[in-house]
Chain A
Amino acid sequence: GENVEQHPSTLSVQEGDSAVIKCTYSDSASNYFPWYKQELGKRPQLIIDIRSNVGEKKDQRIAVTLNKTAKHFSLHITETQPEDSAVYFCAATLNQGGKLIFGQGTELSVKP
C-alpha cells in the first residue's frame, strides 16, 4: 500500500536560518501533497499544499517542491521564527477527497 517516509524526525535551527523537511512516497499515482503544522496539544493545520501538475509553490516564508520522477517532495521554511516551532507532517493522497497517508512527523525547534 501507499507509504510516506519523512526525514528528519527532529530538526533544530537558529532563528533566521532556513529549515528543510523531506518526504518520499511509494505510489506514483499520488497526486496531492499537503503539509500540516501541529502545535503541542492542538489540531493539525494545513500550511501549504501542492498538486502533481506543479513543481513548486510558495506562500511567503514557506515553499514546497515536488519531484514526481523521484517521488519526493520537500518543505522549505526561510527566516525561521520561534513561533515556527511545532511538529510538521507531510501527507499524500491518491484521489481527490481520499484518505491522507501521513509521514511520521518532524519536530522543528527554532532557537531564539
Chain B
Amino acid sequence: EAGVAQSPRYKIIEKRQSVAFWCNPISGHATLYWYQQILGQGPKLLIQFQNNGVVDDSQLPKDRFSAERLKGVDSTLKIQPAKLEDSAVYLCASSSDYTDTQYFGPGTRLTVL
C-alpha cells in the first residue's frame, strides 16, 4: 500500500512571499489532515477534511493560510504572505472512515527568511 505523498520536501522563501504544498493521501482514505510542526514541538492540526468538506479549521490562520481538497482526493495548503514564524514542517496525514489511525506523510520543511 502506497503511503501519504507530499511535495515539495523542502522550501525556502523570503517573508511576504507565497508558497503552496501538495498532499496525496492513501488511496481510499476519506479524511485528510494538515498539521504544522514547529521545531521541538508536537504537530498541531491546521485543518481537517472529510472528503472535500472542511470538518475543523479552527486553528488555521485564515488571514494568510488557505487549503482546498476539490475532488476529495489530493489537497493543497497555501500560505500568502508568509511570515518568519511560519517556518515549520507541514505534515499531511490521512485516515479511513473506519479507524482512528492517522498515517503521516514525510512532510514539507518550510524555511522563511
**Cα distance A103–B41 when bound, in Å?**
8
Give the residue of A44, A97, A100 whose beta carbon is less than 8 angstroms from that of B97: A97
Contact code string B84-112 (vs A, CB < 8 Å = 1, else 0): 00000001000101011111111100000
Which of under 10, 10 to 19, 20 to 34, or 35 or more describes the interface residues of A?
20 to 34
Least CB separation from A100: chain B residue: B102
Contact A93 B100 (CB under 8 A): yes
Does A69 belong to the interface (CB within 8 Å)? no
Contacts known (A97-B31, A99-B56, A104-B41); A49 close to B101, Cβ less than 8 A: yes
Contacts of A102 in B (CB 8 A): 42-44
**Cα distance A89–B43 when bound, in Å?**
9
Contact A105 B100 (CB under 8 A): no
* A60 CB, min distance to chain B CBs, angstroms: 18
Contacts known (A43-B106, A99-B56); A49 close to B42, Cβ less than 8 A: no
Interface size on B, residues (CB 8 A): 23
**Cα distance A45–B4 when bound, in Å?**
12
Does B40 belong to the interface (CB within 8 Å)? yes
Contacts of A49 in B (CB 8 A): 100-101
Does B21 belong to the interface (CB within 8 Å)? no
Give the residue of A32, A42, A96, A100 whose beta carbon is less than 8 angstroms from that of B43: A100
* A42 CB, min distance to chain B CBs, angstroms: 7
Give the residue of A43, A93, A105 whose beta carbon is less than 8 angstroms from that of B104: A43
What residues make up the interface of B, taking CB atoms closer than 8 Å to A?
31, 33, 40-45, 48, 50, 56, 91, 95, 97, 99-107
What residues make up the interface of A, taking CB atoms closer than 8 Å to B?
4, 6, 32, 34, 36, 42-46, 49, 89, 91, 93, 96-100, 102-105
